[in-house]
Structure 1
Amino acid sequence: MKKEDIQFGDWQRMFLGDVPGGFYWEVVLRIAVIYLVLMVSMRLMGKRMASQLSRNEMIAMVSLAAAIGVPLQAPDRGILAAVVIATVVILIQQIIARVGANNQRLESITQGDLSVLVQDSKLHLPNMKMTGITKEKAFSQLRSNGIRHLGEVKRLYFEADGSFTLIRNREVHPGLGILPEIDAEFTNQSCRASDELVCKRCGQKLAVTDTTCTNCGSSERVNAVE
């Protein structure tokens, strides 16, 4: 379209476009066929496509969306190309899924690995840096599970699919508080300070004589809460 063809107030072009009115009846048929193609594709790619998507499944979904958009809007493009692309996407997805089920290394490469964010009531800072998870993001996730301090946490995993898995300590002990400092009134009601010292940065338990944290090297310390 040339720039001189674009004029403000050309409502027919803005809402109906430059295609004949009969094309919109054709769009109804196109979307019905493509909807069927999508439904069959999702069914063939398995139940996981209806739940939380993995990295490969997200790529497959984006590829299907890109293939389907063009024949829906362009009257000069046929539906067959979208069907061919959907078939190729399904085949690639099925091959990767079957090979990955028997090959742990390939599955790790394509799907990613889980990372330990909290280990034995202290933050695993190198893993957090590698995965891009901030301290506040980890604390937010713990708070959403009813955790008030790190002494309640045995493990916090960041799964390959982007979800979090929490494993609680069987025996709770004092740990670094994770409730927001801005809500001091609730924090004082929910937790009380103990005599134990922990690193303010990672939650490592400290002795009175420790000048720096053996886990992260920080010199900041606070009283653990219980």
Structure 2
Amino acid sequence: MKPEDFHLFEPLRFFLGDVPWSFLLETLLRGLFLYGLLLLSMRLMGKRMGAQLSRNEMAALVSLAAAIGVPIQAPDRGLVPPLIIAAIIVLGQRFIAARTLKSKKFEEITQDDIAIMVEDGCLNLDKMEEVVLPQERLFAKLRSESISQLGQVKRLYMEANGDFTLLLQEPARPGLTLIPDWDEEYIQEQQRSPDTFACLRCGQLEHGPQEPAHACPRCQHHRWTTAVTAG
């Protein structure tokens, strides 16, 4: 559009753009075609595409959406390019799925791997740093599962797709409280474990008549708190 052809707040251009009214009907037909193409592509990539997506699957879906979005809106774009892009994405995704069944190493490279975030009531700080998982977010996840202290957790796995899998410790052991420190009233209601202290950073337990003066042997943190046994 030339500058002299531009008129501020021109209703037809404002709502319809620089295309004729007849393009609205073609947009409907293009949308139906590309919507069907998207559904078909997702079906060919497997049932996982209808569930919670992994990073690879999310990238494939975003790529499909990007390829499909432009031809719906642009009258000068044909439908063959998105067909080709969809075919490449589907074939690539099926190749990745087939290879991950045969090679554990390939699966780790393309899908990532499972990681242990909590092990026998202690935080795995190295893995948390690796996956960029703050302590408070992890504690919030455990609180959402009605866990009030780390001693109740035998394992907390972060799956390759970012989901969490929780295995409880039976019976529960004393551990670091998961209650935010500003909720002092609730913390006072928790039962304390005599002569047991938990590292405030990783949850490592130390036994003794008084708070340890040394650093935590697991994470070298110097702050301790009395371990709790129940909410």
Shared fold, TM over 0.5:
yes
The whole-number CA distance in structure 1 between the counterparts of 2:182 and 2:214 is: 28
Letter in 2 for 1:166: L
1:214 is the counterpart of 2:213? no
The whole-number CA distance in structure 2 between the counterparts of 1:154 and 1:39 is: 41
The whole-number CA distance in structure 1 between the counterparts of 2:55 and 2:149 is: 32
1:6/1:183 CA distance change after superposition, 3 Å: farther
Task: Give the corresponding residue for 2:9.
Answer: 9
Letter in 2 for 1:219: H
TM-score, with normalisation over the residues of structure 1?
Answer: 0.95
> What secondary structure does 1:211 align onto?
coil
The whole-number CA distance in structure 2 between the counterparts of 1:27 and 1:173 is: 63
Task: Give the corresponding residue for 1:182.
Answer: 182
- Percent identity (aligned): 45
CA RMSD of aligned residues (A): 1.4
> What secondary structure does 1:182 align onto?
coil
After superposition, residues 65-84 of structure 1 pair within 5 angstroms as 65-84=65-84
1:182: Cα distance to partner? 2.1
Letter in 1 for 2:29: L
Moved over 6 A (4+): none
The whole-number CA distance in structure 1 between the counterparts of 2:3 and 2:167 is: 61
Task: Give the corresponding residue for 2:191.
Answer: 192
User: CA-to-partner distance for each residue in 1:111-138, whole Å, 9 max, x for gaps?
Assistant: 0011111111011111111110001011
1:99 is the counterpart of 2:99? yes
TM-score, with normalisation over the residues of structure 2?
Answer: 0.93
> What secondary structure does 1:118 align onto?
strand
1:201: Cα distance to partner? 1.1
1:225 is the counterpart of 2:209? no
> What is the total number of aligned residue pairs between the two structures?
225
1:11: Cα distance to partner? 2.2
1:205: Cα distance to partner? 0.6
In the alignment, structure 1 segments of 5+ residues that lack a partner are none
Task: Give the corresponding residue for 1:140.
Answer: 140
> What secondary structure does 1:198 align onto?
strand
Task: Give the corresponding residue for 1:131.
Answer: 131
The whole-number CA distance in structure 1 between the counterparts of 2:180 and 2:15 is: 50
1:2/1:205 CA distance change after superposition, 3 Å: farther
> What secondary structure does 2:15 align onto?
helix
The whole-number CA distance in structure 2 between the counterparts of 1:186 and 1:213 is: 26
The whole-number CA distance in structure 2 between the counterparts of 1:133 and 1:94 is: 30
Task: Give the corresponding residue for 1:50.
Answer: 50
